[in-house]
Amino acid sequence: MSPPVPAQLLPDIMSKIAALEPACLAAVHQFLVRLELAQLTEEIQDEAEALRQAGAFSPDLIEAAVREHRRNHPYAA
């Protein structure tokens, strides 16, 4: 059995979501937020690893970036 095509799933998912009670809808929303966070975290980690392998995360570059950030955004005392 082949997996369903996303275009075929969407109407079914939308109708199920539309019929949910408010508490369940809130839980679905929270799940989707966590799913999105997990996807973004994975994407950031993949990009960071590629940058690390390319030498973009050398200690000198990180120190320079921190100094520039602190110069542009000084801490309030």
- Least Cα distance to 9 among 17, 40, 23 occurs for 17
2 located within any domain = no
43 located within any domain = yes
Tens of pLDDT, residues 19-53: 999 999 999 999 999 999 999 999 999 999 999 89
Range 6-45 burial, b when 16+ CB lie within 10 A, else e = eeeeeeeeeeeeeeeeeeeeeeeeeeeeeeeeeeeeeeee
Count: domains in the chain = 1
Q: What is the mean pLDDT of the chain?
A: 92
34 located within any domain = yes
pLDDT at 77: 57
77 located within any domain = no
44 located within any domain = yes
3 located within any domain = no
Domain of residue 35 covers: 8-72
What's the pTM?
Answer: 0.64
